[in-house]
Structure 1
Amino acid sequence: MQRRQFHSLLSASVAATFLSPVLTHAQPRPLLRAGDQKGGLRALLEAAGELKNIAYDIKWSEFPAAAPLAEALNADAVDFGPIGDAPLLFTLAAGSRVKAFAANRSDAYGTAILVAPNSPLKGAASLKGKIVATNRGSIGHFVTLKALASVGLKQDDIDLRFLPPPDAKLALTQGSVDAWATWEPYTALAETGGHAKVLVNGRGLWSGLSFLAATESALRDKRGILQDFKLRVARAQVWSYQHPAEFGAALARIIGIPAEAARLQFERRATRWQDIDSQVVADQQRTADFYLDAGLVKQRLDVRGTFDTRFSVAA
């Protein structure tokens, strides 16, 4: 009886030894819930081959603009996502605890105010009394206000309609609004499709800053994963400008836009990733102060609390 019990225990021990690697292998991989806008991040990483050999799974959620993405961050529905400087400020003003952990700068031209191809409007001053569509709190909203300020006008001098990009584009083509303030790739799509022309571009108005922003819980619990993702994005961006034709074709295919529009918006943006340094913080503070002067926020915002600099090389 004792011998049988011994053999039974020995067999169980041997079985556990062989099963333990299987059980270890079956442990679930970490999950990163990634927000995206018009498939831009996913397209970049996929084209550059940076979605291979990742030690975690990625669940992608796509949003048409930064505002709904910011809402998803606030609701903890995604871990992180790309967001412009203006939308990030609105999350701060609303009491959100979302923080940017990576920054990039782009040529601001494509963040622009568009009008119909046959529009008689000439320059920002001609917008007085006109109807302008944009997303509330978007970089399009910001550029509109900056363009008005550059010619001595205020928001009250125009009729501002808050519409998401697809609705704003339709409104412009149907003539129910006079102008549409938007960003890439919508600008390139409208231009190459013959639906609009640039009335005012963002150069000299917008800093060109955009960020990857994450929830506090993701920054706390998934820091290593976010750091890896940031490095992959930076490598992919360098690759994209080394292989412009290949990336342009992949971008068009992945996000489902014509190749001409994909190539135009990619080439003129000239995006480069950088650390969150003192210049980034200063530029963001100037944007926040402009919003205060414009009456869009009720009290001065200290933007330093919006950044997590532990991901920067300098840090």
Structure 2
Amino acid sequence: MRRSSRWMEALALLVAGLLLSLVLDDAGAATPEFPPEFRIGYQKFGTLILLKARGDLEQRLTPQGVRVVWAEFPYGPPMLEALNAGRLDFATTGETPPVFAQAVPGSPLVYVGHEPPSPESEAVIVPAHSPIRTLSDLKGKKIAVAKGSNAHYLLVAALQKAGLSLQDVQPVYLAPADARAAFERGAVDAWSIWDFYRAAAELRLQARTLTDGRGLVANFENYTSRRPFAERYPALVKLVLEEIARVDAWAAQHPETAAALLSKQVGVDADILLPALKRRSYGAGPVSAEFLANQQKVADTLAAIGLIPQPVRVAEATLARIP
């Protein structure tokens, strides 16, 4: 009986020791440094799809026991809906979708990085022989745009420059592929859109640029995550931003090679992708004060015209909790 009691005491001490070793590591943390799965949302253009094609991220994360899962979306808003719902861990969009996403009560979205501004990468375009020559000529016209996208904000800014508003035109809210079809058959008078769709319309449909984003918008491409995920796995967020920066540097130096690689991924001719790649800026980095100020400007504009249901304080979607 005594021997059994001693055995039970020894077993209890062993179990307690094992539990303690699980709870306390050298840093005093209970959470593993990397998750078993990393879910990334991407679109048919930009650095993330190049990162996916090259396999660089998998090379670094597979030894850490992380499975990378890629999910393609047609544009930003549905991607960030998935992020808000916990179906993604990391996403990339233009400057406007995160503002819409943050306006959803309880949104876990946080900014973790961004690219430099690329205002030339989006434009309001019209058919080659359209009588529309100035922004003022858009009054009363049908304009295709993806609702909640960065091109939506571009359209707002372009109209404001001409002394117009969304109420003075007929927005036709369409996803990019549907908007392209409507534009080609003449069902809309203009299209507010980003690259590579812009480049495709210019090269294949001889579309004419009414205005691009220069002087109107910054057009930051940004990287977002969910606060619980980013706070739990900061090493992973840092690692993926490092890999994005490396691919950025490579694409900036080798645009023709990048266009050829991207062409295989998206099924779009390289001659369309090349001008789109040359129009964008490269150099992913951490969240900056300039970026946050721009995002706040976007948020204030959208709130003022009623496109988001309530004002958004962008600083609340940062890991640093900037005051």
Fold in common (TM above 0.5): yes
8 Å CA contact retained: 1:276, 1:309: no
2:255 to 240, 244, 247: 244
1:34 corresponds to which residue? 40
| 2:311 is the alignment partner of 1:300 | yes
Alignment of 1:104-143 (within 5 A): 104-143=115-154
Q: Measure the CA separation in 2 of the matches of 1:29 and 1:210.
A: 26
1:154-165 pair list within 5 angstroms: 154-165=165-176
- Aligned residue pairs total 283
**In 2, are the aligned partners of 1:45 and 1:51 still within 8 Å (CA)?**
yes
Q: Percent identity?
A: 31
User: What is the identity, as a one-letter code, of the residue corresponding to 1:32?
Assistant: F
Could you tell me how far 1:44 is from its partner in structure 2?
1.9
Query: Paired residue for 1:281?
Result: 292
In the other structure, the counterpart of 1:65 is 75
Q: Does 2:66 align with 1:50?
A: no
Q: Secondary structure at the match of 2:87?
A: coil
CA contact (8 A) 1:93 1:301 kept: yes
Residue 290 of structure 1 corresponds to 301
- CA-based RMSD of the aligned residues comes to 1.9
Task: In structure 2, give the amino acid aligned to 1:68.
Answer: P
The residue aligned with 1:90 is 100
What are the within-5 Å matches in structure 2 for residues 187-226 of structure 1? 187-194=198-205, 196-226=207-237
Deviation at 1:298, TM superposition (A): 4.0
Pair 74,221 (structure 1): closer, same or farther in 2 beyond 3 Å: same
Does the CA contact (< 8 Å) of 1:106 and 1:272 recur in 2? no
Deviations 1:46-99 (A, max 9, x none): 565623522222110000100110111122111111022211101111222211
CA offsets, 1:154-205, max 9 Å, x none? Answer: 1100011111011111111111111111111111121122252211211111
8 Å CA contact 1:134–1:164 kept in 2: the answer is yes
The more displaced of 36-45 and 85-94 is 36-45
In the TM superposition, residue 103 of structure 1 has moved relative to its aligned partner by 1.0
Q: Is the 8 A contact 2:115 2:221 kept in 1?
A: yes
User: Is the Cα contact below 8 Å between 1:30 and 1:57 reproduced in 2?
Assistant: yes
The 8 Å contact of residues 300 and 312 in structure 2, kept in 1 or not, is answered as yes
CA distance in 2, matches of 1:309, 1:243: 35
Q: d(CA) in 2 for partners of 1:275 and 1:120?
A: 44
Matches of 2:250 and 2:148, distance apart in 1:
32
Q: Distance in 1 between matches of 2:78 and 2:170?
A: 23
Once the two structures are superposed, residues 113-155 of structure 1 have per-residue CA deviations (whole angstroms, 9 ceiling, x without a partner) of 1111221111211100000111111111100010000011111
Residue in structure 1 matched with residue 10 of structure 2 by the alignment: none
Q: Spell out structure 1 runs of 4+ moving beyond 4 A.
A: 46-49
Q: Comparing 298-307 with 47-56, which one deviates more in the overlay?
A: 47-56
Q: Does structure 1 retain, via aligned residues, the 8 Å contact 2:39–2:69?
A: yes
* Cα pair distance change 1:295/1:251, threshold 3 Å: same
